[in-house]
């Protein structure tokens, strides 16, 4: 950054939310005044044309009303403005304005002001050309060596050069090998047009070659040249610069020499007339515009280069002579004579900041105060450092993973769920099978005591639950804080009363230490007055067809939950435990506890894991096949296109049949991929429900604390969405392996093992299932889940639940993997795979 700022001589802001580019600025004596003073002509993409003649009373003054000579709305975007001898019969200067589909030439005349508003300008249309192609930019000059007038050349967006001899259209030629338009300039000494193509090379075309080449109005020159009619358009010389160009400019030393300057994205080049490089300069910043002009030193050229760091650099050839700071990023820069002040630098930004400035410095009136040095007492510094380290250590011990804030009440989030359903359901799918899908309104309240700016509220629910809107932004409400608030939704949102079932494939028994509670008291909204047996038995019916039965024992303190599908047990089991806890809290009972003494049903859980993994593998294979067929389809298309373009027709050799067959295969594979993604989403929802159930049973089995349960949930449920790039299996396997090698490790040797930092889709699920089995086994041996490896307790205590000892070798680990069915489960799993909406916890999170 420069120490010196550009000295502001005059500045103004143009319009409101208007846009400008490098062709929108021009300096010239456009009104042909006798004093020869330049005027500033500015056009905008909004269609406004303005002409300024700055007359500041003192340096740094803003624009006054009399500085604006003309402001007119041309109603079409102004792409470029230039001043030259564009009208026949006179050598007066006229203004050329390029629009996207029109070229207009105006005569600008000045009128002396008789009042305090100063001089004014009037603009008269001399002629216009309607363009058949969309224009990009233009250049002008004495093409072909004409005297006393300027011709105009316009480059279209599709690569056509259109030459206008003042009031008449001369010819149009397409550039060979054109793809995208680049900057365009004309060299009067060599009578050539220069541009930079999309091949990143500078190209030079002689005007005479363009004039005598084949007419390209219909872009059929290639075929005509093959037939021998017309003359081929050939390039005079080319130079590969290896980057795209922002602008190109021609500067003449004298009548015998000129230089071509090209501004690239990271370099600027100076070329000779024949395309040889005179010099180049590598730039350390991203340029935005430039302007070369003749230096006072003979044989050298000065160059103004603006960049995106609000800087303007002045180079003499490749030597940096000055650097100055601008208040904006310039997109166009010019040098002219304004108000008898020569060498004024005029810059324009893309948002309309127009400034006239000059180079210079101001004397610094600031003097740095004397630094009062004092001797340091190192003993006191050591004592202070130890006190600070002790405070930091105490804070780290007292706090958890997240830092605690002193003002927790700066922002509070509260949620109220309506007790009643909406009278008109807001669900996107009103029906699932024969069941109507209800909706419920959730009221989220934000309370803040500090000023907030653009607060964002996000609401998340687990599938298959859906939200009508999950993102809210409040503009009127800056603190870096994330607040979370969890809430429960009513069970009736996805569950209806149903008939109990006496038999089921999957059963779970929950033990309590209190007498059984009537199910009518626990689930009042699901009670049927005509059935007295609902005191001990109650049925539930999920939207989509799944049925769950809850039985309360009359003699023992047990509850049984049973269903035909293993994953369907989770929601009702969790809801039963929560409602039992709430019931006994209202009764004032503080020692209520639930437990699980059965076997952990890992076999059923592993079958869900295998099914989910199989769908992932199928999806990967289908995507590979789809990619292969797409490549084949494009290859056949290219073959057919080449045949159709061939001048001599040739047989298709059944390429059209092959194209049709490949197209059908692509469509069929795309449908299969989409169907597999839907099945994978349902399978992942089932897997998450089963995972919640397994975590709940392990927590009840081993009487885990809330912190230990949170660690299990973080390990088993790390992802909200499942993708091919990062799936559930590899993520959970890495998390469980970390637990086995840290807090659940058997020795320090296991703690020293390093885990693979890269997660890839595994070949199968055997390793994951073995690690899950080991996790349960080590928890049964008394292992304790924690985030610190130092807290790993000796695993000597055996907990109930039918688990064997921890294997002491890899051989025993393999035997545990083989015998996991006998160790942890004695239930049968139903293999029916009928699609249905899956059950998920009725819990949401807003933050």
C-alpha to C-alpha distance for 520 and 533, rounded to whole angstroms: 10
Q: What is the pLDDT of residues 120-163, one digit of tens each?
A: 788 999 999 999 999 999 999 999 989 889 999 999 999 999 99
Q: Give which of 192, 176, 180 is closest to 156, Cα–Cα.
A: 180
pLDDT at 532: 56
pLDDT at 813: 42
C-alpha to C-alpha distance for 612 and 815, rounded to whole angstroms: 25
C-alpha to C-alpha distance for 192 and 145, rounded to whole angstroms: 11
pLDDT at 254: 67
Show the DSSP H helices in 377-464 as ranges.
Answer: 378-398
Whether the pTM exceeds 0.85: the reply is no
pLDDT at 768: 93
CB 573 within 8 A of CB 587: no
**Percent of the chain whose predicted confidence (pLDDT) is above 70:** 81
Question: What six digits make up the tokens of 199?
Answer: 């091949």
Show the DSSP H helices in 721-765 as ranges.
Answer: 728-741, 748-751
C-alpha to C-alpha distance for 630 and 619, rounded to whole angstroms: 16
Could you write out the DSSP letters of every residue in 505-529? SEEEEEEESS----HHHH-GGG--T
CATH class of 495-596: alpha beta
| Domain locations along the chain | 6-216+232-359, 409-489, 495-596, 608-781
Question: What six digits make up the tokens of 343?
Answer: 């060498």
CB 389 within 8 A of CB 428: no
Low-confidence ranges of the chain (pLDDT < 50): 1, 217-230, 364, 401-402, 405-406, 477, 529, 789-841
pLDDT at 832: 33
Q: What is the pLDDT of residues 383-414, one digit of tens each?
A: 999 999 988 888 766 555 445 544 555 678 88
Q: CATH fold of 6-216+232-359, please?
A: Methylamine Dehydrogenase; Chain H (2.130.10)
Burial-class residue 224 by CB neighbours within 10 Å (0-12, 13-18, 19+): middle
pLDDT at 216: 53
3-state secondary structure of 798: coil
CB 824 within 8 A of CB 602: yes
Q: What is the pLDDT of residues 170-193, one digit of tens each?
A: 999 999 988 899 999 999 989 999
Around Cβ 327, how many Cβ atoms within 10 Å?
Answer: 14
**What pairs with residue 206 in β-bridges?**
192
pLDDT at 666: 94
């Amino acid at each position: 950054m420069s120490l010196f700022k550009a000295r502001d001589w005059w500045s103004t802001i143009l319009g409101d939310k208007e846009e400008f580019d490098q062709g929108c600025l021009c300096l010239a004596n456009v009104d042909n005044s006798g004093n020869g003073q330049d005027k500033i002509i500015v056009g905008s993409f909004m269609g406004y044309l303005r002409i300024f003649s700055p007359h500041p009373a003192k340096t740094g003054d803003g624009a006054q009303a009399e500085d604006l000579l003309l402001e007119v709305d041309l109603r079409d975007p102004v792409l470029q403005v230039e001043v030259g001898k564009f009208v026949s019969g006179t050598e007066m200067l006229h203004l050329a304005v390029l629009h996207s589909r029109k070229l207009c030439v105006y005569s600008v005349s000045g009128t002396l002001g008789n009042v305090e508003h100063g001089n004014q300008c009037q603009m008269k249309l001399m002629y216009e050309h309607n363009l058949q192609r969309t224009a990009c930019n233009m250049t002008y000059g004495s093409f072909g060596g004409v005297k006393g007038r300027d011709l105009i050349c316009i480059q279209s967006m599709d690569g056509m050069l259109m030459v206008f001899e003042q009031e008449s259209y001369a010819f149009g030629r397409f550039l060979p090998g054109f793809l995208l338009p680049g900057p365009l300039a004309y060299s009067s000494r060599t009578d050539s047009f220069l541009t930079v193509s999309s091949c990143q090379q500078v190209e030079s075309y002689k005007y005479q070659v363009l004039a005598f080449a084949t007419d390209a109005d219909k872009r059929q020159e290639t075929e005509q040249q093959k037939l021998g009619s017309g003359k081929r358009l050939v390039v005079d010389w080319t130079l590969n610069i290896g980057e795209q160009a922002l602008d190109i400019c021609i500067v003449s030393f004298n009548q015998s020499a000129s230089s071509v300057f090209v501004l690239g994205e990271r370099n600027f080049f100076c070329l000779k007339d024949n395309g040889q490089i005179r010099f180049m300069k590598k730039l350390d910043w991203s340029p935005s515009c430039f302007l070369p002009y003749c230096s006072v030193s003979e044989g050298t050229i000065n160059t103004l280069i603006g960049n995106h760091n609000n800087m303007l650099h002045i180079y003499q050839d490749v030597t940096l002579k000055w650097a100055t700071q601008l208040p904006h990023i310039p997109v166009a820069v010019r040098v002219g004579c304004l108000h008898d002040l020569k060498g004024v630098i005029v810059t324009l930004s893309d948002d309309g900041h127009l400034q006239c400035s000059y180079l210079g410095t101001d004397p610094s009136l600031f003097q740095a105060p004397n630094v009062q040095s004092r001797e340091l007492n190192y003993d006191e510094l050591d004592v202070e450092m130890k006190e600070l380290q002790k405070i930091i250590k105490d804070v780290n011990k007292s706090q958890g993973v997240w830092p605690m804030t002193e003002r927790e009440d700066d922002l509070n989030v509260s949620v109220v769920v309506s007790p009643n359903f909406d009278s008109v359901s807001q669900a996107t799918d009103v029906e699932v099978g024969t069941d109507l899908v209800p909706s419920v309104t959730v009221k989220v309240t934000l309370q803040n005591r500090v000023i907030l700016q653009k607060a964002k509220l996000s609401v998340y629910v687990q599938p298959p639950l859906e939200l009508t809107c999950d993102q809210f932004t409040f503009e009127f409400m800056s603190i870096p804080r994330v607040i979370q608030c969890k809430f429960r939704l009513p069970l009736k949102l996805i569950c209806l009363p149903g008939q109990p079932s006496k038999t089921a494939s999957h059963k779970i028994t929950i033990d309590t230490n209190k007498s059984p509670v009537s199910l009518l008291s626990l689930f009042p909204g699901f009670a049927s007055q005509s059935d007295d047996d609902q005191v001990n038995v109650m049925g539930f019916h999920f939207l989509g067809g799944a049925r769950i039965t809850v039985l309360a024992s009359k003699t023992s303190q047990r509850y049984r939950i049973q269903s035909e599908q293993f994953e369907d047990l989770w929601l009702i089991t969790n809801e039963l435990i929560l409602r039992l806890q709430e019931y006994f809290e209202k009764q004032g009972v503080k020692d209520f506890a639930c437990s699980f003494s059965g076997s952990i049903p890992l076999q059923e859980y592993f079958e869900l894991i295998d099914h989910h993994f199989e769908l992932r593998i199928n999806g990967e294979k289908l995507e590979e096949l789809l990619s292969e067929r797409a490549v084949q389809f494009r290859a056949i298309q290219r073959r057919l296109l080449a045949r159709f373009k061939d001048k001599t027709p040739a047989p298709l050799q059944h390429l059209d049949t092959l194209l049709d067959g490949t197209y059908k295969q692509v469509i069929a594979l795309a449908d299969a991929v989409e169907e597999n993604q839907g099945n994978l989403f349902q399978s992942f929802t089932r897997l998450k429900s089963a995972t919640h159930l397994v975590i709940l049973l392990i927590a009840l089995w081993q009487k885990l604390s809330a912190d230990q349960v949170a660690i299990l949930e973080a390990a088993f449920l790390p992802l909200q969405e499942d993708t091919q790039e990062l799936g559930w299996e590899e993520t959970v396997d890495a998390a469980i392996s970390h637990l086995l090698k840290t807090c659940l490790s058997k020795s320090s040797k296991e703690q020293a093992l390093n885990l693979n930092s890269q997660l890839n889709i595994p070949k199968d699920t055997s390793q994951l299932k073995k690690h899950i089995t080991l996790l349960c086994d080590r928890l049964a041996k008394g292992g304790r889940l924690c985030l610190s490896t130092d807290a790993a307790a000796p695993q000597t205590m055996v907990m109930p639940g039918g688990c064997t000892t921890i294997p002491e070798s890899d051989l025993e680990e393999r035997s545990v993997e083989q015998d996991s069915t006998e160790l942890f489960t004695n239930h049968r799993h139903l293999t029916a795979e009928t699609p249905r909406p899956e059950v998920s916890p009725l819990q949401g999170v807003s933050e």
